[in-house]
Every structure is written in C-alpha cells, then in structure tokens.
Structure 1
Amino acid sequence: MTFILYNALVSVFLILYSPVHIIRLIMGSKYRESTLPRLGFQSYPKADKSKKTYLIHSVSVGETQVAGTLASEFKAEDPNCRIFVSTVTETGQAVASKLKDVDGHFYLPYDLWPLTNKIFKYIQPDAVIIVENDLWLNYLHGAKVRDIPCYQVNAKLSASSLRSYKKFAKFGQLLFEPMHHFFVQSETFRERFEEMGIAKDKLTVSGNIKLDSNPPFLSESELNDFKSSLGLQDTSLNHCLIYGSTHAGEEELALETHNKLKKNFPELQTIIVPRHPERFDKVCAMLEKSGAKFSRASQIRDDQAAEDILVIDMMGALMKAYQIGTIGIVCGSFTGKVGSHNFLEPSFYKKPFVFGPHTYSQPGFYQLCKQANAGLQCTMEELSEELDKLLRDPQKQLEIGESGYKIISAAKGAVHHTVEVIIKELEG
C-alpha cells in the first residue's frame, strides 16, 4: 500500500510540475540541461559482467567530490573495475565530468519505477553506493529486487529528520530496508540510526570522508600561474580574504567588510567565489551598482592587474583560491537559508577560517571544530572587527590553521576503510 501511495504522489507531482518543465525548456533556465535527462530521456552505459561495477549516487558538488575520492580508492584496489556516478544537479554533473577515475556519469531520474528500473537494466551494477542522504524508495528497491547490495556512506541523520522518520515509521522502514551497511560520520549519528531501528552490525562510524579527500595542491609554479591568470601580484596577497561559496546577501557582506578593512589594510585583496554559477552575473551587477571597482576572473587578460575586489566566476577554482588566501571565510553560514558548507576546506592548506552563526546543515563539522577549538565563529555584525584582529595577529592565524589541519589529519584512512569493508562484503 505504501508503494502504491508513494508512486501515486510522485506521479501527481510530476504532472502538476510539468508546466514548470516546459517553461524551463523554452526559457533556458539554469535547470534546462537536467530537465529531459531527469524525465528519463538519456542513455545509460551498457553492462559488462566481466568487471566489477559500482554505481555511486551523489547530489551536487560536495557529494560528487566524495564520489570521486571513493572512485579513486576502488580503482586503486581493482584497476579493472567500472565506476559510474549519478547526480541531481548541473553543478554535480560538471564535477563528475572531471573525475579521472569515473567511467561515466548521468542524471538520476525522478523516482518513478519505469525510470529508475532502466538504470539497473542497462548498467547491472554489483553495488549501489549513496553518498550522504539522497535516498529514494523506488531506486533502492529496484536494487533490492535484483539482489544488488546498497551502502550509504558519509551518512548523517539530523534530529529533525529523525523526528520525521519516526512520524512516518512505515515509510522510513521501507526506505532503509534495502541498505546493507551504513558508514556514518559520528557517534551521534550512529545513535540516531540505532534509534531508527537499524541493527548495530549494519553501522560503522567511519568519520567524515569529505575530510579524507585529495583536493588540488598546487606547486609553487602552479600557484604563480594561477595568481597570474587572476591578475594578482604577490604584493596584493599580504592580506587576502577568500569568501568561499557565497550566497545571496553574503556578497554584500563581503563588500561592506572590504570597505571597512581597507582603511587599515591598504593592500587588502578580497576574492569572492559564488556557490552557484547562475549567480555570477547577479553578483557582478550588484558590485557594479554599488560603484565598487572590481574584476571578473573570466575577463582578466594577460598582464592585466585585478582590482582589489575580484569575483571568481568559474567552476572548480575555490580550493585553489584558498591556497593563495590569508584567511578563508566559509559562506552559506551567514544566511539562515543555507546552514553553511564545509568550513574545514581551508584547513587542507593550514589556512585559518572564519564561519558564521548558521551551521545547522553541518552539525558534524561544527562538533569537530567545537571539540578542537578550531576556526573562528562570528555574526555578520562582528565579521569586520574579528577579521581586523585576525589580520593583525599572524600567530593566531597559524594556531587556527594548525588546529583545523589536525582535524583533517585525524580523518585520514576513512575512505580506505569504507571501500575495504564494501569489497570484503561483496567477496563474501
């Protein structure tokens, strides 16, 4: 009965939502690329039963980067295996297309049985791996009826999600039923999954495998080339602030903070990296309207010097930007609509990081930082004052950078352990 009701609701949703799909196709919105594939109009790789095949599902950028890390580890264990990645967003697809150890990628279709069934019919994977929390009933049960084991990696379960699952206990039970094993981020999440009725022997605390990734580390010459491509001179990077993954309202905060700090730090360089590419033009329009002098990275020409406010309007540059910065300000945390991103990203490079008061989307990261006294948390109103103090205190910068890096170091080995357990289970 639950399956019938669920599929009826999904069907009704797609019918009611069809005018939106049509408008997207006609108007060329940011979702145009994914509209038809998610409705099932896409091709899938063909099965090759002579090789182990892993199907990894992620949602967007962060999860797809985790998928890439997992893919590299699987390939290290078995170079002949095949790995395919599905995503939901366009930005996720952009990341997936650049993963060197992935054999193919596609959009996960809407969760209707005929659409999800095609995936298993064509690819015939040996295992399905879900990164974090994007679980879909028909998709998972499509694997279950074919005896394909499913694994949830980097799993987390918020207190509000736990309450929702308890409220709809039958649905929650069906959703988790196909899962063979859960690799959870922390003891807190393990306890919540147990409270959901998941057996202890199906739960492993692996830590947050986002911290066990391999972000780009640029050599000195590569760093110089990157800075040159952005129109940055070495002298302009003595006090360089990187606003990473900004959302609406946070670019205005960056501009306001820049204007306040510029009086005391004449060489201040502010670099803004918007989270979503469809907002690049909006951010630049806001800066232009404000009268601020700024540069767009995509428009920098040879030997051209960037203004002291620079918008990086290209994908895949954030981690490189953190390497050239003095301080990373991890955004999404200054707006209540997002709840932060991974505010430990600057720590891969031992860079000090600052984040805002809204961290509800990243409870695991917040707990790690709180326990290790890592990072600097402040409100929008406090940001300029806190950055002023931090820019004047190189020793404090070093301490924050080191404390964050210790958290990163402690997470090493999580990916290897996760992949090792999955391979052993598949081998029986």
Structure 2
Amino acid sequence: MLFLYNSGLFIFQLGIRIAAFLGNEKASLWINGRRGWKQRLHSYQKKSGATYWIHCSSLGEFEQGRPLLETIRETYPSANIILSFFSPSGFEVRKNYPHADLVIYLPPDGRKNAKTFLDIIKPDMVLFIKYDYWYHYLSALRKENIPVYIVSGIFRKNQHFFKWYGGFFREMLRNISHFFLQDQYSGDLLKSIGIESFSISGDTRFDRVSYSARNKFAIPTLEQFKENSDLLVCGSTWPDDEKIILDVFNRLKDPKLKLLIAPHTIDKPRVLELKKLAEIKTDATSVQFFSTADKNRLHDCKILILDSIGQLSNAYGYATVAYIGGGFNKGIHNTLEAAAFGIPVLFGPKHEKFREASGLIKAGAAFCVHNEDEFALILSTISKQITLKKGAGKAAGDYVQINSGATDKIMSQLHNAKKP
C-alpha cells in the first residue's frame, strides 16, 4: 500500500507540474512557492521558546485554527510559531500573517522531505488543523516522539479510514497523539477502529467567528450602499448559485432590497462574467464593483459585487439576510461567519456534510432552498415577517455563542500535557 501511496504522490505532483507548465496560476504558485524551502527554514532565527508547528491545508482551516494559534502566541510570547500551508489559497493570503514567526508551504510529502523538515525546525509540538494526513510526516513525527494533535477533527463513516481496505490509512491515524474532536460521533468512529486518545472539545471556528463579529470594522462603501435598505449578502458564491440569486432578485423586485454578491473566486474574468450576468438577468439601474464603486452612484446602485479579499466576514455585519454559496455546487461554504452576526442564513441543498448547517436549521436560524421558487418564497417571507426575521437572527447568534469555547478547552489540555 505504501508503494501505491508514493505512486499517487508522484502522479499528483507530476500533474501539478504539467498544469503549471500549461499556465495554471494556482499550480504555478504551488510549485514556485516550494522552491528553496530548505534555505528559508535554515535562515529563520529561532527565539528562546518552544517551537510550535501548526499546519493548515488551506485558508478555511487557517481561520478555524486561528483562535488557538493566537492564544498560543499570547500565552507563550517567546514561542516559535511555524505556520505551514498545503494550498496556495491559504499561503498567498496569509504569507505575511504577523502572529507566526515563519509562514511556508509544506514541502511535498516524502520520507526524505519529512525527515529534513523536522531536523531543521525541531518542533516541540505539532498541531494539524482538522485534517491533512500525510503518511511520511506523521511517521517521522512518531519516530522522533514529537507530540502531534488534530484540532477540530471530524470524521464520517464513509471515509476510507473506516472501510475494510483502510488499514494503511488507519495506521496514519495511530500516529496522532491526541484528537480534539468536534463531536461524539467522530469519537465513536475512532473507537470502532481501536483509537481512544481523543476528547470532545468542539469546533474552534465558533470562537473565530464570534471574535470577528464582536470586533467588526466599518466598511464605509457598504454603509453608503445599504443606507436604509434591506441587504441580502451572498457569500462565496458559484455560477450555479448566482443564476438563482439573480433570478430571485429580479423576480421579487423588492424596492427595499439591495444585493451584495461575493463570488468564491475573484479573478478578473470571473467577476466581469458575473457583472455581465447581473446586468442581463436584472433590470437594476446599475451594477458596480466594490473596488471601483462610484460613491456618487451608490444610492441608485442595487447590486454590488464584492471583488476584494478579506471583506466578506465584516460585510455580513451589514446584512439583513445572508445566503451562503456552494449548495448548488460541491457543498456550502462557511455559514458561521454570517450566523455570528445574528442574521437568518440561507443555503442550497448540498449541506449534508456540514454539521453546523444542520444545527442552524434545527435551531430555526437557517433555511435550505432547493430551487428558485423556494428561495423566492423564503426570502420574501423573511422580509415581510419581522418576528420570523428577528427570531431566526437571534437563534443564529445564540447557536454560535452556545457552541463557542473550544479554544479554551484545547489550551487547557495542551497546557496540562507534557510541556514542550
């Protein structure tokens, strides 16, 4: 099985190189960002404290682990914090993150790379956020007797760890010192394969979104755009979402409603295509981009396209209702960022893998829409029934607050564990 694993890694990296050669931007970043990684590690001047290596697959996992990282920084100011990413979407956005001493791409998994990486950084403690299980890194950590923890881990029965053919993958899990899990179901799954070193601490994302909502910053362009209108903020949308959103917006023709769309990807061709679609599908007098908004025309503008990174989580603070994209694609994105502001949340049908989506629905804070008709009906009902809107919003905020506190639980256990 190890041979197949290594062969898979080789084929994956070859595919990335071919894609980069053909001009794929993300593939090029993946390749070029890893060049010279040994020199970068050797050039880092360590401080006197312990070394924490924190790994995130991408930007979403970073935001999930951020409360823990920042608590470690606050608790241990002299600690060395090395933050690694697998994906360009995480590294390129957070490569200058001030609370980490060094931000790098994770070198490709391999026996030699893993040994060299650990020999250079010499971590005292390793934290993997949610997942990203790499055989050679985990094997090397166990061999060096370095404690490694999974933070906000979650498992599903259909994962290969729990299949009859999953022995190789189960061995990877047995290299983990302790799992901080989101729910008991994940713990029961681990128990079923003989792993009992876990605790149910919850999801650190709740801590992150709660903090962000409490410390939101003003966005003058959105204040001027919204004025006294209701605002539907649609975050992390895909083309399948946007067709329905724009059809519903045009269908309702609510004079009190304005629309902010934040597409999941914001490269120039993508946002230009979205603007053209918005102009075709609606009879809005103007559609503007956030980055180039004409303040003199914002009063009459009905649709604003958020084409800037780092604004969405605060934009939800201006929303009357939020729609989370991905539910008509591969799966919804972060519902909690919006819920933390105490507003009703809508999303499409592909949400079954996300326990917080089910939790929000059960709490009366979120609504699943399966098609344009349902979207129009639910949005119209929420807009007209103030009691429903307020009740759903309060339920959303309460759901986030009730489930917060995972960071403190994890820090308490890490502190009581063998000190690094």
- Measured in 1, the distance between the counterparts of 2:334 and 2:115 equals 34
Give identity over the alignment, percent. 22
Which residue matches 1:323?
Answer: 317
**Shift, 1:311, TM fit:** 0.6
User: Aligned ranges for residues 114-193 of structure 1 at < 5 Å?
Assistant: 114-161=112-159, 165-193=162-190
- Measured in 2, the distance between the counterparts of 1:295 and 1:375 equals 29
Secondary structure at the aligned position of 2:150 is classed as: strand
User: Is the alpha carbon distance of 1:404 and 1:252 closer, same or farther for their aligned partners in structure 2, counting shifts above 3 Å?
Assistant: same
User: Aligned ranges for residues 72-91 of structure 1 at < 5 Å?
Assistant: 72-91=70-89
- Measured in 2, the distance between the counterparts of 1:370 and 1:225 equals 32
- Measured in 2, the distance between the counterparts of 1:98 and 1:12 equals 31
User: Is the alpha carbon distance of 1:303 and 1:119 closer, same or farther for their aligned partners in structure 2, counting shifts above 3 Å?
Assistant: farther
User: Is the alpha carbon distance of 1:99 and 1:89 closer, same or farther for their aligned partners in structure 2, counting shifts above 3 Å?
Assistant: same
1:360 pairs with one of 352, 361, 381: 352
Give the structure-2-normalised TM-score: 0.90
Secondary structure at the aligned position of 2:235 is classed as: strand
8 A contact 2:152–2:202 mirrored in 1:
yes
User: Aligned ranges for residues 19-418 of structure 1 at < 5 Å?
Assistant: 19-23=18-22, 27=23, 29-38=25-34, 43-44=40-41, 46=44, 48=46, 50-97=48-95, 99-161=97-159, 165-199=162-196, 202-213=197-208, 214-215=211-212, 217=214, 222-223=217-218, 225-227=220-222, 232-235=225-228, 238-262=229-253, 265-278=254-267, 279-288=270-279, 290=281, 293-305=286-298, 307-333=301-327, 335=328, 337-362=329-354, 364-381=355-372, 382-418=374-410
Secondary structure at the aligned position of 2:261 is classed as: strand
**Shift, 1:16, TM fit:** 5.5
Instruction: State the one-letter code of the partner of 2:287.
Output: F
Provide structure 1 residue ranges, at least 5 long, that are not aligned to the other structure: none
User: Is the alpha carbon distance of 1:420 and 1:15 closer, same or farther for their aligned partners in structure 2, counting shifts above 3 Å?
Assistant: same
8 A contact 1:372–1:403 mirrored in 2:
yes
User: Is the alpha carbon distance of 1:197 and 1:276 closer, same or farther for their aligned partners in structure 2, counting shifts above 3 Å?
Assistant: farther
8 A contact 2:213–2:341 mirrored in 1:
no
8 A contact 2:213–2:340 mirrored in 1:
no
**Shift, 1:91, TM fit:** 2.4
User: Is the alpha carbon distance of 1:5 and 1:419 closer, same or farther for their aligned partners in structure 2, counting shifts above 3 Å?
Assistant: same
Q: How many residues align?
A: 410
Give the structure-1-normalised TM-score: 0.88
Instruction: State the one-letter code of the partner of 2:259.
Output: T
8 A contact 2:344–2:392 mirrored in 1:
yes
Which deviates the most, 35-44 or 176-185? 35-44
**Shift, 1:218, TM fit:** 5.4
Which deviates the most, 114-123 or 177-186? 114-123
**Shift, 1:204, TM fit:** 0.5
**Shift, 1:255, TM fit:** 0.9
- Measured in 1, the distance between the counterparts of 2:274 and 2:26 equals 16
User: Is the alpha carbon distance of 1:216 and 1:390 closer, same or farther for their aligned partners in structure 2, counting shifts above 3 Å?
Assistant: closer
8 A contact 1:217–1:320 mirrored in 2:
no
Instruction: State the one-letter code of the partner of 1:172.
Output: F
- Measured in 2, the distance between the counterparts of 1:40 and 1:290 equals 48
**Shift, 1:120, TM fit:** 1.4
- Measured in 2, the distance between the counterparts of 1:90 and 1:16 equals 16
8 A contact 1:46–1:122 mirrored in 2:
no
Secondary structure at the aligned position of 1:168 is classed as: coil
Secondary structure at the aligned position of 2:331 is classed as: coil
Provide structure 2 residue ranges, at least 5 long, that are not aligned to the other structure: none
Secondary structure at the aligned position of 1:346 is classed as: helix
Structure 1 residues 203-253: Cα deviation after superposition (integer angstroms, max 9, x where no partner): 11111211111225456xx5362525xx51513xx2110011101211111
8 A contact 2:127–2:148 mirrored in 1:
yes
